[in-house]
Amino acid sequence: MKFIRVLLLLTSGLLAATSAAAIAGPEVASTTESKKKAGPITRIDPTFWWVGMKNPKLQLLVYGPKIGASKVSLKYDGVTLDGTQKLENPNYLLVNLTISANTKPGKLPLEFQGERKIKYEYELRARSTEAGRVQGVTSADFVYLLMPDRFANGDPKNDVVKGTMVNRVSRDSMYARHGGDLKGIEDHFDYLKELGVTAIWPTPIVENDMPKASYHGYALTDYYAVDPRYGTNEDYVNFVRNAHRNGLKVIHDVVLNHMGSKNYLYLDQPAKDWFHQWPTFTRGNYRDGTVNDPYASAEDRKLFNTTWFDTTMPDPAQENPLVATYLIQNFLWWVEYTGLDGYRIDTYPYSEPGFLMKWGKAIQDEYPQLGMFGETWVQAAEGVAQQAYWSRNAFPAVNGFKSNLNGVTDFMLYYAIQDALNKEAGWSEGISKIYYTLQSDWLYENPNRNVVFLDNHDLSRIFSVLGEDVSKQKMALTWLLTCRGIPQLYYGTEILMKNFSNPDGLVRADFPGGFPGDNVNKFTAAGRTAPEQEVFTLVSKLANYRKAHPALHSGKLMHYIPEDGVYTYFRYNDKGETIMVMMNANKQDKTVAGGRFAERLTGFTSATNVVSGATIPDLKTLRIPAQTAWVLELKR
């Protein structure tokens, strides 16, 4: 159910304090540190900026005791002060700048004149000139989703950070910190490369200093800081750089819709109109269909877009242009600062629709190559059209909203693969569900930009959903790596990690071998059981084969209506490369006449089974074993 995620997030607890994580350099101090120093300026967001950005405008949010009463002046070649803006809270002041194209990097001297004169050197950096630094994410990639806290502990020294609300590690609790970090991921780059992974998607790495369930990262408490339990900001920059050196891209998980209740922006709000305010906590209806429902009431729409996602997750008022600019600048900042390759946008439909269009345009104008896809947890009954509404699609604008997002997490295909492997075949049921879901791809501008998956950190693991049937697991993984779109694998699926999402959160268990004292190490073949190794080998072989064969990741797709529980489809390109995939969901072997597929088989006389290496000498009659998926490279 859609509310599984909400149930998990409800465990995230009550309130937390902003941590003492600091960003390197003199330009910013954390909230905790500023209280100790009692300095006149606590921080400025963005913490630094760059010359040469396509948009020359910069909005600085200055925070400090009674700073709002100050007059501001500056002298710097190429930088114009467009004015300041007081906010309801006297501890904030907005400083608006224009940075011309010929401005040189350096220290911008800002002078604040209030009760006393304050001088602040704001850093303007040179943009990176590294070619291809931001690589993007495409259907040629194979994405590995992991939770940093649960994957591997590479640096035990950062397990407990003084000043944070959760200052202990308790691996016996699924809602406590376990100690995983960026170094732990980096230590296993070789494992990911062996598996055939090309892109890493960690759940949010930004500071999440909340008292309960802070490990998941979706209640951020500082937009500009990496959580110190994962490493420093500079560690993250180096992480992205080292990933690129190893042929791995990095996808940054971002939250637009909400923040943690201990974010300094909420603890000391710039103004009441920076957040959606309710007399008491008001839970939303979680119904994204209200946005484009032509008959929806204004009340239902309000209860979707302006309510808090959870009790500890305040809802920024993104229709406020000052809030919108703050958020847009932050997500431009992370790309330029780190060189990351893509954004996964959490709870994408929950944000204010007009803001989503503005945010998407601003990011893509500056970084057109950046990969972006949104979480669109649309229920099966809502259908493909509702999911397609949230990406670039074939529809006209509805209620003023026309999505400019490249792709979405393809929940419709997630439901379809489960139906295919767990239900009897029928006209539109069972394995036919995949066919009819893909048949609706005409609704998207480009369905190949959608992310296809079997499970994730909010969902029951696919191995459990399939009744811990290894044959079905292998079929699901074969489909994942041969279907259209960008395949995403949840950590541990390749070694048969199991469990259901409700009620104990065990789908977020530690990767065995990633932590000191683990009894087994599944990062090595020696630590895996025979079935685990069998599945790992399948993923590795198919993923690496996919990487080397463009027809499988970027080619065209032609499929045939399933017959007798067998679904057949082809991936092919103009260079003559053709891959044939057959899925037999039946409990019995099936014989299939190849003549039906003459449109694609003409000119080919035999095939090689990509996984087993066996030769299929005759394509006229194909006998496929029960509950098996074949990937056949056709030969002339």
pLDDT of residue 3: 36
Hey, what are 102's tokens? 């010929």
pLDDT of residue 435: 98
DSSP secondary structure letters along 232-274: -HHHHHHHHHHHHHTT-EEEEEEE-S---TTSHHHHT-S-GGG
Q: What span, in angstroms and rounded, lies between the C-alpha atoms of 275 and 304? A: 15
71: burial class by Cβ within 10 Å (0-12, 13-18, 19+)? exposed
Are 487 and 561 found together in one domain? Answer: no
pLDDT of residue 12: 34
Q: What span, in angstroms and rounded, lies between the C-alpha atoms of 50 and 521? A: 44
The residue among 518, 533, 566 that closes a domain is 518
The predicted model gives 193-221 an average pLDDT of 96
| Entry pTM | 0.93
Hey, what are 576's tokens? 């003559």
Confidence of residue 116 (pLDDT cuts 50, 70, 90): confident
Are 425 and 408 found together in one domain? Answer: yes
Are 586 and 466 found together in one domain? Answer: no
The DSSP bridge pattern shows strands 117-125 and 49-50 to be parallel
Q: What span, in angstroms and rounded, lies between the C-alpha atoms of 140 and 487? A: 9
Place of tokens 């489960």: 418
Average pLDDT, the chain: 93
pLDDT of residue 351: 97
Q: Are 119 and 75 in contact (CB under 8 A)?
A: no
Are 458 and 314 found together in one domain? Answer: yes
First to last CA, the chain: 47
pLDDT at 438 over 70: yes
* In-domain check, residue 16: no
Find the CATH number of the domain harbouring 490: 3.20.20.80
Give 281 or 19, the one with higher predicted confidence.
281
The predicted model gives 464-484 an average pLDDT of 98
pLDDT at 283 over 80: yes
The predicted model gives 526-536 an average pLDDT of 98
pLDDT at 499 over 90: yes
- The full length of the chain comes to 636
**Helix, strand, coil % (nearest 5) of the chain?**
30, 25, 45
Handedness of CA 35, 259, 354, 298 (dihedral sign): negative
* In-domain check, residue 423: yes
Are 119 and 169 found together in one domain? Answer: no
Kindly state the DSSP code that residue 397 receives in the 8-state scheme.
Answer: P
Give 15 or 481, the one with higher predicted confidence.
481
pLDDT of residue 307: 95
Taking the CA atoms of residue 464, residue 466, residue 472 and residue 474 in that order, the dihedral angle to the nearest 10 degrees is -30
pLDDT at 20 over 70: no
pLDDT of residue 634: 98
Q: Which is catalytic among the residues 149, 222, 227, 346?
A: 346
Hey, what are 502's tokens? 């409700």
pLDDT of residue 2: 40
Query: What are the phi and psi torsion angles at 351 (to 5°)?
Result: -75, 165
pLDDT at 371 over 80: yes
Q: List pLDDT tens digits, range 578-635.
A: 999 999 999 999 999 999 999 999 999 999 999 999 999 999 999 999 999 999 999 9
Confidence of residue 6 (pLDDT cuts 50, 70, 90): very low
The predicted model gives 15-20 an average pLDDT of 31
In angstroms and rounded to an integer, the radius of gyration of the C-alpha atoms of the chain is 26
Q: List pLDDT tens digits, range 149-160.
A: 999 999 999 999
* In-domain check, residue 234: yes
Cα within 13 Å of Cα(487), Cβ side: 27
Give the three-state DSSP class for 385.
Answer: helix
Confidence of residue 24 (pLDDT cuts 50, 70, 90): very low
Q: What span, in angstroms and rounded, lies between the C-alpha atoms of 224 and 359? A: 18
Give the three-state DSSP class for 112.
Answer: strand
Q: List pLDDT tens digits, range 309-355.
A: 999 999 999 999 999 999 999 999 999 999 999 999 999 999 999 99
The residue among 518, 545, 577 that closes a domain is 518
Give yes or no: 375 in active site.
Answer: yes
Q: Are 495 and 461 in contact (CB under 8 A)?
A: no
Question: Taking every pair of C-alpha atoms in the chain, what is the biggest distance, in angstroms?
Answer: 89
Are 88 and 168 found together in one domain? Answer: no
Are 504 and 362 found together in one domain? Answer: yes
Q: What span, in angstroms and rounded, lies between the C-alpha atoms of 260 and 15? A: 8
Are 100 and 169 found together in one domain? Answer: no
* In-domain check, residue 41: no
534: burial class by Cβ within 10 Å (0-12, 13-18, 19+)? middle
Are 397 and 259 found together in one domain? Answer: yes
Percent of the chain at pLDDT > 90 equals: 92
Handedness of CA 545, 550, 554, 559 (dihedral sign): negative
The residue among 125, 153, 168 that closes a domain is 125
Total number of domains constituting the chain: 3
Give yes or no: 227 in active site.
Answer: no
* In-domain check, residue 424: yes
Are 284 and 431 found together in one domain? Answer: yes
Q: Examine residue 46 and say whether the peptide bond preceding it is cis (omega within 30 degrees of 0).
A: yes
* In-domain check, residue 37: no
pLDDT at 15 over 90: no
Q: Are 170 and 176 in contact (CB under 8 A)?
A: yes
pLDDT of residue 220: 97
Q: At what angle do helices 411-422 and 470-480 cross, to 10 degrees?
A: 150
Kindly state the DSSP code that residue 528 receives in the 8-state scheme.
Answer: S
The predicted model gives 559-582 an average pLDDT of 97
pLDDT at 250 over 60: yes
* In-domain check, residue 248: yes
Residue range(s) defining the domain that contains residue 441? 3-9+133-518
Are 150 and 99 found together in one domain? Answer: no
* In-domain check, residue 455: yes
Percent of the chain at pLDDT > 70 equals: 94
pLDDT of residue 49: 98
pLDDT at 16 over 50: no
Find the CATH number of the domain harbouring 568: 2.60.40.1180
Q: What span, in angstroms and rounded, lies between the C-alpha atoms of 380 and 382? A: 5
Are 415 and 353 found together in one domain? Answer: yes
pLDDT of residue 13: 31
The predicted model gives 33-47 an average pLDDT of 68
Q: Which amino acid is at 583?
A: M
Find the CATH number of the domain harbouring 119: 2.60.40.10
Strand partners, 308: 283
Q: Which is catalytic among the residues 336, 375, 455, 532?
A: 375
